[in-house]
Each structure stands twice: as C-alpha cells, then as structure tokens.
C-alpha cells in the first residue's frame, strides 16, 4: 500500500514539474538571442528533526526539481536570470513519545510522518562557457518555501493520540553552482549543489523547522 502511494506521489511530482517547465518560457523574456538552458534533476537534502518527541534523527529527503536560466549577454562569460522549483514528498515511520492517561505517564508509539515541501527560487547567475559543450554556472537569490506535515498514529495508539496536519510558509536565501556537459547541441548532463537557509513554522506540531544546508542533485540539461 505504501509503495503504491509513493508511486502516485512521484507521478504527481513529475506532472507538476512538466507543467512548470512548459510555463517557464512565459516567465523568462525571449528578447535575448541566446538560447535559454533548462534542467530537470533528482537529488537529496537533509532536514533537521526539531521535534524532541520524535525519534530517528534528521530526515534524509529526496528532491525532484526543475529550473531555467536566461542569458542577457556575454560571450565566454555570461550573466542572466534564473528561476526554478524543488519538490519533495516524503513518508517515514518514526517512534513518538506522548503522554497517556490521567496519571501523566508516557507511551511510545509508531507514527507515519508524511511531508510535502515546495521551494520556489528566483535570482541571477553568472556563467563560464569556454566551449559550447561545457558550462559552469553559479547563482544566488531569494526563495519562498511551502511545507505540509501530517502525522498518523498506529491503529493501537491511545484514543487521545490523534492525527495531526499543518502547513506553513517561509522565505530565505539560496546560492548554488552547477556544471552542464552537452552531448548534443540540445541535450546534456547536469550536476549541481545548492546551499539554502530558510525556516518553516509549524506552530501546533513541530514548531519552527530550519530547512537549510546542502542539497545535491544530478539530471539532464537542455536548450530551448
């Protein structure tokens, strides 16, 4: 059942990314003669576990994303704007310590922790292109982040332990670097890393969650 749910979640992510890529061309101006560069990628990031009642350490989260970069000038050294989004759907089973009964005792139960994370970023970039098949780029700017978190206790949990769901928004900054190696005029390979700093506020459940640190990813690069 969980495998089936994860497959459905990843299909939703892929569809969202395709829709995003199709709309990017309207976001970025087509006035410049240089071709834009797009990326679709898969990677990982670490989200700290700030809930003292949940065991299991930090969350090792898979990410799926897409971006586009539009140059406005330059030859070997280029500059322009970029925009993109990261998506993540994660499901994990954690041990949870909670109060039980009027005596104030503690009980440890298993809970399913499901989270959704959407990270939209927009900034500028600088590029180094010594050859048509090789590009090195660095970018930075602000980001907006949305998260949703659900906890579902096991069936045998006490009645006072109920399901919880909460969403939150946040903002922050990012900086990233990436390398494109084009195998043809239109398609190639992409590898990159990004560091970000932002905070989500889940007031009723996990409190403030720092979504910061490094994200590493690889995928495809293409011109459009």
Tokens 């560091």 label which residue?
Answer: 195
26-43 pLDDT tens trace = 555 444 467 899 999 999
In this predicted structure, what is the pLDDT of residue 58? 73
In this predicted structure, what is the pLDDT of residue 163? 64
In this predicted structure, what is the pLDDT of residue 6? 53
Distance between CA atoms of residues 90 and 44, nearest Å: 11
- Within the chain, where are the H helices? 2-27
Q: Can you list the domains of the chain with their CATH numbers?
A: 2-74+94-198 (2.40.160)
- Mean pLDDT for back-to-back runs of 10 residues, the chain (224 residues): 52 57 52 80 82 66 93 88 90 57 56 80 95 95 88 60 74 96 96 91 64 90 95
Closest CA to 60 of 88, 87, 85, 27: 88
In this predicted structure, what is the pLDDT of residue 32? 47
- What CA dihedral angle connects 170, 171, 174 and 179, to 10 degrees? 60
In this predicted structure, what is the pLDDT of residue 99? 55
In this predicted structure, what is the pLDDT of residue 157? 54
């Amino acid at each position: 059942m969980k495998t089936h749910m994860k497959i459905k979640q990843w299909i939703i992510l892929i569809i969202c990314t395709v829709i995003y890529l199709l709309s990017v061309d309207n976001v970025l101006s087509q006035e410049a003669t240089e071709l834009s560069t797009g990326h679709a990628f898969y990677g990982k990031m670490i989200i700290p576990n700030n809930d003292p009642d949940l065991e299991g350490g930090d969350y090792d989260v898979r990410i799926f994303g897409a971006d586009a970069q539009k140059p406005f000038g330059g030859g070997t050294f280029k500059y322009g704007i970029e925009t993109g989004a990261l998506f993540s759907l994660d499901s994990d089973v954690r041990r949870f310590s909670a109060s039980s009964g009027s005596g104030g005792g503690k009980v440890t139960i298993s809970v399913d922790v499901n989270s959704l994370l959407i990270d939209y970023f927009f900034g500028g970039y600088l590029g180094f292109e010594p050859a048509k098949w090789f590009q090195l780029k660095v970018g930075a700017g602000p980001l907006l982040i949305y998260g949703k978190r659900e906890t579902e206790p096991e069936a045998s949990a006490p009645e006072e332990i109920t399901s919880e769901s909460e969403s939150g928004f946040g903002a922050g900054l990012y900086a990233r670097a990436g390398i494109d190696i084009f195998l043809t005029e239109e398609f190639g390979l992409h590898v990159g890393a990004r560091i970000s700093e932002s905070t989500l506020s889940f007031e009723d459940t996990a409190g403030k969650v720092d979504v910061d640190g490094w994200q590493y990813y690889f995928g495809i690069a293409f011109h459009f």
